[in-house]
A = this chain, B = another copy of it.
Amino acid sequence: MAMPKGAQAFPRSEYLRRLTAVKGEMERREIEVLVVTVPANITYLSGYTSKSGYVPQGLIVSLKDEEPAFITRRMDAPAAIHQMFVDRSRIFGYPEALIANPDKDGWDAIMDILIESGFENARIAVEASSLQGRTVEKFKTRSSGAPIIDFGNTISWIRGIKSDLEITAMREAAAIADAAMLKAKEVILPGAREADAAAEITATLIRGVNGIVGTDLASLYLCASPRTSTCHIPWAEDVFQLGSQVNLELAGVRHGYTSALMRTFSLGEPSDRLRRLHEGEVAGLEAALAAVKPGATCGDVATAFNTTLQKYGFKKESRCGYAMGINWTEPTASLKMGDPTILRPNMTFHLMLGNWIDEDFGYALSETFRVTETGVETFSSLPRDIFQI
């Protein structure tokens, strides 16, 4: 019996619009066929979110076909039939003999199909930054024609400007993030284990809010004293203490679209140092948001933040944010001094003001936002407070 199509996250017209943008760039660069391998880009162009990208797979976009084709491990083909908007005839499963096989692998299967489809001498592009050097070499060796072209981050840049449908998914993800942050206010308590709090927060990220579930989990970082200067430890085996501080970074996810949120918790009165930093960070956040409008640059936003924070006697070394969408960070625009990217309506960013100042002191605050026609919309509805427990 055949696998049915699942509920689709977006209508077919939305995927065709995205493909048209990619094909336009292919035409401009005289590329006949493109092998998409960055998982977020595969999601973007097809709706596929299944986690099969740890073995070779490629979405094939060709100028002569309206729909892309997908070549994946055979056991993952049913998930592609279920999730992708494309016709089932466009999905190809390669055999299990190509897994853990040093002589011939899934990349060979992809080249086999490209050659069978008449692309042997075509101008082929790949996303080289997502591939091992030896895989790019394999594409070169097996293509007897033109050189292999690196498509770079082109699709990530196209993803940068969202449609209203994508913005809806981002707003849903943000509402889930808010619910999880509010749950954190209930479960971060002196005497509670960090893991128990993390369990409740994570469960909320999956259950979602208002009947809209989280479709996946993104990273969660709960960094409590004495670890407030760390930023990428999920949680520890400790128990919260009165006087402790907790920096929490989390995100809601809808169909891959991710909306992040950071807040700082204080178990008891915040220290004077924390209070002063918070004051400067909130002022910087407001200055940054005030600088967001179409035509301004990412650098302008960062300058507004940094200049304001400095007035309060603090500095943040790391960039103050990045483009955000499918699977968290988009590897394109940064909110950092000098970044020339011009803001356009429906670009979305994580204004990430986490500040790991000293070995014993760090702080978390962020907003995920959209550039509007005239300014900015932040997705979270939570106050920009230190959450005192």
Residues of chain A from 59 to 81 with CB closer than 8 A to chain B in the complex: 74-76, 78-79, 81
Say whether B208 contacts A74, CB under 8 Å: no
Type the 1/0 row for A203-227, where 1 means its CB is closer than 8 Å to any CB of B.
Answer: 1101110000111110101000011
A317 and B95 contact, Cβ closer than 8 Å, known pairs A199-B207, A231-B79: yes
Type the 1/0 row for A354-368, where 1 means its CB is closer than 8 Å to any CB of B.
Answer: 001011111000000
Give the distance in Å from the alpha carbon of A322 to the alpha carbon of B83 in the complex: 28
A243 in the interface (beta carbon within 8 A): no
A6 in the interface (beta carbon within 8 A): yes
Say whether B213 contacts A237, CB under 8 Å: yes
Q: How far is the CB of A220 from chain B (nearest CB, A)?
A: 8
Number of copies of this chain in the oligomer?
Answer: 2
Q: How far is the CB of A214 from chain B (nearest CB, A)?
A: 7
Q: How far is the CB of A318 from chain B (nearest CB, A)?
A: 5
A121 in the interface (beta carbon within 8 A): no
A311 in the interface (beta carbon within 8 A): no
Q: From A74, A200, A229, A360, name the one whose CB has the most chain B CB atoms within 10 angstroms.
A: A229
Across the interface, A195 reaches (CB within 8 A) one of B7, B207, B231, namely B207
Nearest B residue (CB) for A227: B82
Across the interface, A358 reaches (CB within 8 A) one of B1, B206, B237, namely B1
A145 in the interface (beta carbon within 8 A): no
Q: How far is the CB of A76 from chain B (nearest CB, A)?
A: 6
Nearest B residue (CB) for A77: B359
Say whether A3 contacts B226, CB under 8 Å: yes
Q: How far is the CB of A87 from chain B (nearest CB, A)?
A: 15
Among the 9-residue stretches A45-53, A157-165, A261-269, A375-383, the one with 4 or more Cβ atoms under 8 Å from chain B is A45-53
A96 in the interface (beta carbon within 8 A): yes
Type the 1/0 row for A92-108, where 1 means its CB is closer than 8 Å to any CB of B.
Answer: 00011001100000000
A198 in the interface (beta carbon within 8 A): yes
Nearest B residue (CB) for A318: B96
Give the distance in Å from the alpha carbon of A208 to the alpha carbon of B336 in the complex: 41
Q: How far is the CB of A227 from chain B (nearest CB, A)?
A: 6
Give the distance in Å from the alpha carbon of A361 to the alpha carbon of B204 in the complex: 31
A133 in the interface (beta carbon within 8 A): yes
A219 — which chain B residues lie within 8 A by C-beta? 51
Q: How far is the CB of A257 from chain B (nearest CB, A)?
A: 14
A89 in the interface (beta carbon within 8 A): no
Say whether B6 contacts A236, CB under 8 Å: yes
A309 in the interface (beta carbon within 8 A): no
Residues of chain A from 165 to 209 with CB closer than 8 A to chain B in the complex: 193, 195-196, 198-200, 202-204, 206-208
Other than A2-B359, A76-B230, A199-B203, give 8 A-B pairs with Cβ distance below 8 A. A3-B359, A3-B360, A76-B231, A78-B362, A79-B230, A82-B227, A133-B136, A215-B235
- 9 residue pairs of the A-B complex, CB under 8 angstroms, read A3-B229, A51-B233, A76-B232, A82-B226, A95-B317, A96-B318, A129-B134, A196-B207, A217-B234
Those 5 A-B pairs whose CB atoms lie nearest each other, nearest first: A133-B133, A195-B213, A79-B230, A199-B203, A199-B206
